[in-house]
Every structure is written in C-alpha cells, then in structure tokens.
Chain A
C-alpha cells in the first residue's frame, strides 16, 4: 500500500480546487431561479467614455440579469479595427469614421452618438496648486516640443501668480490608437498651422515628443506618477483621480474650464447640421461659454445583425441609453445629448435590421 505523499495531497487539492471553482464559480451569481441562457454581447473601443459605458452596462445588467454586455476599453483605434475584423459585435470611437475608412468595412455601419465629453490638459507640478490657464499656442508649443520648460513666457504670461518652476515639461500622450488623441490633435490642427502641417490629426500620430500611456487610464496614471508632467485626458479621469486640470482659451478669447455647462455650450447650434450627418467635430466651437476641446463619442453599430437575439438586445439597449441612460451621464461629468440629436437617433434605430 503506497503511502500518501505530499505530492498526492497537493495534486488532489489542486484538482479539487480547480473543479470546485469551475463548478461553483459561474453559479455565484446570486440568482435564485436558474437563469435563461445569457445573451452575450462583446464590444470594444474608446477609453474616453469608458466610465459611463461601464456604468451603463453594469446598470443594464442589473435590470436584465440575463444580458451581459462586455465592453473593453482598448482605444478607439482598437474598436474600429476589431469591428472591422468581426471579432466584436459593436465598436466605440470618439473619432467618427470618414467615408474612406467606412469603405474599408465589408458591411454598413451607423454612428450613434452617446455622450459629450471634454478633453482636458491635466498636469502634475509639485508645489503648484493653482488652476493654470493654457493658450492654444502654449498647448501646441508644448506638444510640438518647442516649449520645454514650465516657466516659459507662453505659460507664465497667463499664469502670473502661479510660480511655475524652471523644470522640464514631461509630455505625456497616448501610445495606443485613440479617439481622445483624435479630438486633441483635431483641436491642435485647428489652432496651430504648424501642428497641422507637421503632425496632423488621427487616432495615432507621430508625436514629436513625449511618453506614451495606454488608454486614458495609462495617461492619467503616468501624469499622476511623474512630476512636472502634462497629459490630455477625458474630464472624468482627471476628476476621479483628483488631478488638477487647466482652463483653455476658447475662440472668443475667454479661458474656460471644462464643465457640463461649457461642454453643452460647445454643442449648441450643431444639432441642425447633425440632421444630415451625425459625424461632426465640435472642437474650437464658437460661443462665449464654449469649452474648446469637446467631442461627441459614438457607438459603431452594424446595420445588419444576423443573430436575432443579439439584434434585439442591441436595439433595446440603445433605446434605454437614449432615455434612462442619459439621466446617468451628468453624475460622471459627461454632457447629455441635445434633445434634437436624441430624436435623430431614434429614427436611425430603424435602420438596424
């Protein structure tokens, strides 16, 4: 009779442990009655709206426990690519797809704007707690690598009392394909001819300087840990991490801070144009109160969804998003869609077959 060795014991434990987790794991869902087979939808894309999307999908799951919408924030570029490859059911991007990009798809895709958000310059300067004011020239100069120190006149000019140090500016940008990058570079292209000709605007550009962070989360993380750094992130990321973000001078000459009011103001007046095409850029928008670096963000939905159950889930979710979902966005500092845009989208829901 062989003795029970330590090996036997450990092996048994491992096998039993694995078996238990496999059996019990999926069942700890606190649902008393056996649930109907779950509807699983996979989506991927922008990190810009990730906080509100993850909240939406979580809430929707609570309302419909048999529906799981798994959204991964891998960046707008990733959302576009994975939708094109067919590995996800829907994509998400802050950058609207132009006709040339749409042409690369083998199927038709509709853009559904979901929320409005702002991209803010967040910074980490030890000893400086004041709220900084950035001119468009300053931002372009920093990201072009032409303004290298915090006490450059372009920065100390509008920020007389801030006591900016003579330290090197650590520039942080995105390392992945990002809609937030698109919004930021779109704005810089509009306000700086230099930027437009040398770098341009896209989800992924050739950055003159800087460190790369993965996702909005990565940029916020890098800025948080690196002194004398500056990065661009969606507003909620700066707020949730208690990081200071600056005011930006808009086209009317006022230094505006990103907020629900200033973001909503940026979208005022474009609803008419969106009737024809929801793909629109609202950076450097006119208006005294408007924050200059805002954007709509879009869900990319294929018009033909073969699986009937999936189609129903997606269209139901979009209905819910346009009604109940919109009531949750302001708590996370995203602005609601203008009413006229909601109406436009309800009409396009019919296009999903």
Chain B
C-alpha cells in the first residue's frame, strides 16, 4: 500500500494471542534464549552419559551373549581358546581395594579426628590443605614412586617380616616378589587416605558443638567424647567417605597396574601377583585380537562402571543423611 519512500506502513500482522506473545517478548529479551542454551548444554551432559552407558553395553554384546552370568564366576582368562571370565579380576580389584580400605580408614579417620577435634583451627586448615594436595597427585606418579620405593621395601623388609612372624596365616605365605596384591593394596591406601580425611573432617566439624559439650559436662575425657559421641553422630558421613574412597580405589588404573604383578590368578596369599579390572583393560585392550576378546574386555569395563555407580550412589546418600541431620537442629 505504501507508495513513497518517506512513509512506511508495515503490512498488518495477525494478532498474537497471550502466551505466544509473552514467549516472543521473553525471546526478544533474551531470557528464553538463555534458558534454551543452558538447557541444551545440560542435556548434552545427559546425552553423553547415556551414550557412554549405551556404548559399553552395545560393545560388550558378543561376550554377554556367549558367557551370560557365568562371566562373573569363571576363573579362566584364556585368549588362545577364547574362554573369558571376570572372576580373577573382580577378585584382584576387591582384594586390593579391601586392603587399601583396611589400612586407609583407621589412619584417615584418626587424622580427621585430630584435625577436627584437637588441632587449633589454623593448623587444622593448613594441614587439611596439605592432605588435599595429596589427592591431586596423579596416579602415574604414585605408580612411579611405588616401583622404586614401595616394592623394594616390601620385598626386602616388610614381606619377609610378615612371613616370619605371621606366616601361619595363609595370607602371608608363598613366594615373595615385592609386586603383588599387597603392594597394590598399600599404594591404594596411600591414594585414598586424603579423601577419607577431608570428608570425615568436614562431617566431624559439622557435628553441633552442644554434643561435645554435653559429653564433657558429663565428665567424659576428650577421647571419650570424641569416640563415643561425636564420631557416632557423624557415622553416616564417615561411612559415606569410605564408600567414596572405595569407588575411587576400584577404578584406579595406573598405580595398580605398575605394581600388581599382572597375573590373572586367584590366590590366598597377599604376596601373590594378581590383576585388577582396570589393569587388564589397560594392558590388553590395544591388542585384543578378536572381537570376542575386545567385547570381553569392554564387559569388564561395564562391570566396573556398574560397581562404581552403586558405590557412589550409596556414598552420596550417606553423606547427605549426615548433613541433613547436622543442620536440622532447633
């Protein structure tokens, strides 16, 4: 309808209804766009995780079909005759993690108690920081150190000592190599202690001061108040930290593969070499010469993935429980 350039009459648009109009307004103001963009990225995270789980599932199909649930209970790992079983690796993973936890939990909780209850705040912060730095040390460096310090120490001093004095227990019998389940368990313990310390320290410090004061008022010693009142109060959180540490220990690859001995056998002695799920994948993945072999290795990865999911889930629940308990106070 417009004829001259000086006047411009826009052609009529259909009238917008309420919701669409509000949407367009917000779109123009950028809010919906921002919402959309961040939503897309957040969904990307979902997508990636789902894809990961799917790929693990899909690429282990051959092995799952052939072996079924027996995969988890078979002891053989024979690439020549294509008979694969996860048991030696589950055994190695569980045993080394158990040894690691057995050593790390007392030391970790002990240190957490010291830092939360006894140390003056500034020293507690400083020392806690140093311990957190330990958590930042890469796994391969722990492995590097373990090869040249821990393994010779075990072979020349610790294991002979254990064999001599506790040799009647099957755990401490058998040839002494240095590398083996004990070495892997020890290095894992060193690696997971920082996690136990920092989380336990936090949950211990979150225990309301009234609890402590009540115990002390009743005549308890410092230790008794800590051990019998504070720690039980924070029990769930400490347990949560243990589960988290366990989940971490299960997935540790480099340090373990450098000292575990790489032998897929189940034995009753801690001195014997073993194998963990992560270690066997690291060693054999690039050379699995048949599709079934690769799928078996990926199935091992799937097993590990599921184990860590379960443990992490439990851990989060437990830590959440303590936090809620600690803050829900009149």
Chain A interface residues (CB < 8 Å from chain B): 44, 74-82, 84, 101, 104, 168, 170, 175-177, 200, 202-207, 210-214, 222, 225-227
B286 touches which one: A82, A101, A175, A210 (CB < 8 A)?
A: A82
> CB-CB < 8 A to A205: which residues of B?
79-80
Judge whether B111 is part of the interface by a CB distance below 8 angstroms: no
Judge whether B76 is part of the interface by a CB distance below 8 angstroms: yes
> CB-CB < 8 A to A225: which residues of B?
147, 151-152, 178
25 contacts between A and B (CB under 8 A): A44-B286, A76-B287, A78-B286, A78-B287, A81-B287, A175-B283, A177-B284, A177-B287, A202-B79, A203-B289, A204-B79, A204-B284, A206-B80, A207-B263, A211-B177, A211-B179, A211-B262, A212-B263, A212-B283, A213-B262, A214-B262, A214-B283, A222-B179, A225-B147, A226-B178
Judge whether B100 is part of the interface by a CB distance below 8 angstroms: no
Q: How far is the CA of A276 from the CA of B179 in the complex (A)?
A: 47
> CB-CB < 8 A to A211: which residues of B?
177, 179, 261-263, 273
> CB-CB < 8 A to A44: which residues of B?
286
A212-B80 in contact given A170-B177, A225-B151 (Cβ < 8 Å): no
In the assembled complex, the CB of A306 is this many whole angstroms from the nearest CB of chain B, namely: 24
Give me 7 other A-B pairs in contact (C-beta within 8 A), A104-B290, A206-B80 excluded: A77-B289, A84-B289, A168-B175, A175-B263, A177-B287, A211-B179, A213-B262
Q: How far is the CA of A281 from the CA of B146 in the complex (A)?
A: 40
Closest to A168 in B: B175
Interface residues in B273-292 (C-beta closer than 8 Å to A)? 273, 283-284, 286-290
Interface core residue of B263, B287, B289, B290 (most chain A CB under 10 Å): B287
> CB-CB < 8 A to B288: which residues of A?
77, 81, 177
Judge whether B155 is part of the interface by a CB distance below 8 angstroms: yes
Q: How far is the CA of A202 from the CA of B261 in the complex (A)?
A: 21
Number of interface residues of B (CB under 8 A): 26
> CB-CB < 8 A to A82: which residues of B?
286-287
> CB-CB < 8 A to A74: which residues of B?
286-287
A226-B286 in contact given A175-B262, A204-B79 (Cβ < 8 Å): no
Closest to B83 in A: A206
Judge whether B77 is part of the interface by a CB distance below 8 angstroms: yes
Q: How far is the CA of A184 from the CA of B179 in the complex (A)?
A: 24
Residue contact B175 to A170, C-beta cutoff 8 Å: yes
Residue contact B286 to A212, C-beta cutoff 8 Å: no
Closest to B77 in A: A206
Q: How far is the CA of A226 from the CA of B151 in the complex (A)?
A: 10
In the assembled complex, the CB of A78 is this many whole angstroms from the nearest CB of chain B, namely: 4
Which secondary structure dominates chain B's binding surface? loop
Q: How far is the CA of A177 from the CA of B147 in the complex (A)?
A: 23
Residue contact A226 to B155, C-beta cutoff 8 Å: yes
Residue contact B262 to A206, C-beta cutoff 8 Å: no
Q: How far is the CA of A62 from the CA of B265 in the complex (A)?
A: 47
Interface residues in B220-238 (C-beta closer than 8 Å to A)? none
A177 touches which one: B79, B152, B175 (CB < 8 A)?
A: B79
Interface core residue of B80, B155, B273, B286 (most chain A CB under 10 Å): B286
A176-B178 in contact given A211-B263, A226-B155 (Cβ < 8 Å): no
Chain B interface residues (CB < 8 Å from chain A): 76-81, 147, 151-152, 155, 175-179, 261-263, 273, 283-284, 286-290
Q: How far is the CA of A101 from the CA of B286 in the complex (A)?
A: 17
> CB-CB < 8 A to B80: which residues of A?
200, 202, 204-206
Residue contact A210 to B263, C-beta cutoff 8 Å: yes
Q: How far is the CA of A252 from the CA of B76 in the complex (A)?
A: 38
> CB-CB < 8 A to B155: which residues of A?
226-227
> CB-CB < 8 A to A203: which residues of B?
287, 289
Q: How far is the CA of A175 from the CA of B178 in the complex (A)?
A: 17
> CB-CB < 8 A to A104: which residues of B?
290
In the assembled complex, the CB of A87 is this many whole angstroms from the nearest CB of chain B, namely: 9
Closest to A80 in B: B289
Interface core residue of A44, A82, A225 (most chain B CB under 10 Å): A225
A177-B289 in contact given A200-B80, A226-B177 (Cβ < 8 Å): yes
In the assembled complex, the CB of B148 is this many whole angstroms from the nearest CB of chain A, namely: 8
> CB-CB < 8 A to B151: which residues of A?
225
Q: How far is the CA of A75 from the CA of B287 in the complex (A)?
A: 8
> CB-CB < 8 A to B152: which residues of A?
225
Q: How far is the CA of A202 from the CA of B283 in the complex (A)?
A: 17
> CB-CB < 8 A to B262: which residues of A?
175, 211-214
A212-B273 in contact given A202-B80, A206-B76, A206-B78 (Cβ < 8 Å): yes
Closest to B174 in A: A168
Closest to A78 in B: B287
Interface core residue of B179, B261, B283 (most chain A CB under 10 Å): B283
Closest to A228 in B: B175
Interface core residue of B152, B176, B289, B290 (most chain A CB under 10 Å): B289
Q: How far is the CA of A84 from the CA of B176 in the complex (A)?
A: 40
In the assembled complex, the CB of A96 is this many whole angstroms from the nearest CB of chain B, namely: 14
A81 touches which one: B179, B261, B273, B286 (CB < 8 A)?
A: B286
Closest to B152 in A: A225
